Amino acid sequence: MKLWEKNTSVDKKIEHFTVGKDREMDLFLAESDVTGSMAHIIMLEKVGLLEHNELNTLLDGLREILSTIKNGDFIIEEGIEDVHSQVELMLTRAYGELGKKIHSGRSRNDQVLLDLKLFTRNEIREITGLVKSLFDVLILQSNTYADVLLPGYTHLQVAMPSSFGLWFAAYAESLVDDLRLLFAAYDVCNRNPLGSAAGYGSSFPLNRQLTTDLLGFESLNYNVVYAQMGRGKMERYTAYAMAGIASTLSKLAFDACMYTSQNFGFIKLADKYTTGSSIMPHKKNPDVFELLRAKCNLIMSLPVQIQSITNNLPSGYFRDYQITKEIFLPALEALKDCLEMSTYIMSEVEVNRTIMSDDKYGYMYSVEEVNKLVLQGVPFRDAYKQVGMQIEQGEFRYSTEINHTHEGSAGNLCNTEISGLMSEILSRFAFDKTDAAIEKLWRYKK
């Protein structure tokens, strides 16, 4: 069944090629499609295109389909083109000609735009929660190991004293900035395209503000042509935000891979979190970090893939957009998996508290010795040269005590302030508003 099919059947090879993975991808969008249809038919009744009793009947039918979806029993049948066709077919089977009325005043173009926005909006909510969970673990670990020193590096050369407090909290603060970008994507996503139809509006007296309110959107995509132009743009902006989070996770995974190696030995994973070698019995490989790094690096390519598909298209709808679903929807799931695993594994790492007892790290205290001389009145450049000469002549002596007190340093982590930044950005999303709107919509009765 195809919503557009008339008397001529499509060649089977053409059909197979054009449908592609649409049926598989549309299973991601099933709940969103039903939710959008509920708002649409409530609006149709308000503008006189459905009777009161017809609305209630269709709402009951859509709620039954929604229950099927939530129970994991919903399928798109063989020969059915997409989720929109499947939902309409189920309503038509149950209620006859009445089921066909739900498509009045919309096109599959604005229907899939809406589905993608509703789905992505919810995915952003889940990703945000997972980012917050990882953030909490990192801040907890930072506070726990605030006073445990580890070497800092520049150019992969021993540089200056750092601490596990700094290391964990650095990634926590990185996630705060990642959420700033994710909020920008959410802001773009949280605008209603429904009613733009095929991209040029409708002669029906649609009430687009009503569906906006029913679905908990912040506002409309007002211009109907732009609503269609937003296909691919919303996905690209969200992909940029996903890539930001993935970049943070990938860098964290790289550090962790390096720090678990015997040459560093800064952190350790319990045996149950590592894998072995088929020929080297001593091996304990940090595969979890390596796979996290690879998966996140792949996610970082997502914005370029989406832009490559959509960048040279003029205004209006083109079937090219279908391919964006095949890379965008699975990537959302992949990022959530990476966040969950990062949270789990970072809560379990064992920190080496005695790293700095190794003499090879002694030179990293050179800056501390220079600063001590400066505090005694020696000009910085003279102090630098004096300590440098001591190092060259093998006469360098140092203390392992450090005294860093400024904001964001090893002795003043500012984790309370970083947590405040996280709370502030989380408050911008206002997920409660959209949740309340959707729950009210699902229970709507005329």
- Locus of tokens 């004096």: 386
Tell me how crowded residue 170 is: count the other CB atoms within 10 A of its CB: 19
Alpha carbon distance 27, 22 (integer Å): 9
Residue 241 structure tokens: 């935000």
The residue from 277, 315, 399, 423 that is catalytic is 277
Read off φ and ψ for residue 318, nearest 5 degrees: -140, 150
Any catalytic annotation for residue 366?
Answer: no
Q: Report the alpha-carbon distance of residue 90 to residue 104 in Å, rounded.
A: 17
- Rounded to whole angstroms, the Cα distance separating 341 from 269 reads 14
Distance of CA 184 to the CA centre of its chain: 12
**Any bridge partners for residue 285, and if so which?**
275
How far is it, in rounded angstroms, from Cα 78 to Cα 157?
60
Cβ-contact 128, 426 below 8 angstroms: yes
Question: From CA 335, how far away is CA 134, in angstroms rounded?
Answer: 13
> From start to end of 335-439, where are the E strands?
350-351
> Strands, DSSP E only, in 259-347?
267-268
The span from the CA of 426 to the CA of 314, in Å, is 36
- Residue 286 CA to residue 346 CA, distance in Å, equals 12
Residue 6: what are its φ and ψ, rounded to 5°? -120, -110
Say whether 103 is catalytic: no
What does the DSSP assignment read for 88-146?
A: HHHHHHHHGGGGGGGGTT--HHHHHHHHHHHHHHHHHHHHHHHHHHHHHHHHHHHHHTT
Q: Tokens 């929660």 identify what position?
A: 129
Neighbours of 343 (CB within 10 A): 19
Distance from the Cα of residue 23 to its chain's centroid? 24
Q: Give the count of beta carbons closer than 10 Å to the beta carbon of residue 17.
A: 9
- Number of H helices and E strands in the chain, helices first, is 17, 6
Catalytic residue among 155, 278, 282, 357: 155
Per the listing, tokens 């020696």 go with 378
Side-chain-side CA neighbours of 229 within 13 Å: the count stands at: 10
Q: Which residues are catalytic?
A: 155, 277
